[in-house]
Amino acid sequence: MLIIVPNLYLKSNKFKTVLRWGKLLDTFKHFLTKTYRRDHFTMSSNIRIRRVCLHCGKEFEARTTVTNYCSSQCSKRAYKSRIRIEKISKSNVETNEIINKPILDLLGKEFLTVREVASLLNSSKQTVYTLIKSGTLLGVNIKKKKTLVRRSDIDRLFEIPEIHVTPVKKSVVRPKEKDCYYMAEIQTLFGLSEKALFDIIKRNNIPKYRNGRYVYISKKLIHQVLNY
């Protein structure tokens, strides 16, 4: 019974109806999926963004905001150019290392020959000998034709010496006594108190001169301040 009933059910009209509806549902699902993809693609392809090609500099319409090149040809050329620039840059770094290696080796030495000093200073041997002869650079003759220079002495050539400036005192010309007032004379002549007179002198930086126990001030300056 268990084997015959399913066979009869498979041949029944009810099963054929269920099967037919299942196929219809699958067909409808496929239709919806295909329609969504077509509509989504159509919506995406309708976007137009103005961009400038990073390689040729021409303006073009792109479909995304991250498009940098107007064509695959420009993209390939830009890639090759970028690779070429990287190779050139790497080669330049290696070349500079080779050129600077002798200089770096010299910087690590404590004593240098005249030829090495000339190479380090980018000058001639004659210039180095002139510096040694003038006393600007200290050199020691180890052998008859071999002179050594300490690298630390070369460094001192570029040190800025300290300049000590001695302040120059202004020479004060003392006026003659006949051209001056004593403090008491100013108070009497202009009717000023001692405190008022000292305030005027301090405020206007009027120089005072001492003669024994007396203090006197230039008549010309006190006249200018008091508009006399």
Give the start-to-end residue ranges of the domains of the chain: 72-108, 109-156, 177-225
* pTM for this prediction: 0.34
Same fold, 109-156 and 177-225: yes
Confidence of residue 123 (pLDDT cuts 50, 70, 90): confident
For position 10, what pLDDT does the model report? 46
Look at domain 177-225 and name its CATH class: mainly alpha
Task: Measure the CA dihedral 113/116/118/121, to 10°.
Answer: -120
With pLDDT > 70 as the criterion, what percentage of the chain qualifies?
75
Highest mean pLDDT among 20-34, 67-81, 99-113: 67-81
Encode pLDDT of 33-43 as tens digits: 666 555 554 44
- Whether 104 has a pLDDT exceeding 60, the answer reads yes
% of residues, the chain, pLDDT over 90: 14
Of the two residues 171 and 72, the one the predictor is more confident about is: 72
pLDDT band at 121 (very low <50, low <70, confident <90, very high): confident
Q: What was the pLDDT predicted at 1?
A: 40
Better-predicted residue by pLDDT, 109 or 17 = 109
Which CATH architecture best describes the domain 109-156? Orthogonal Bundle (1.10)
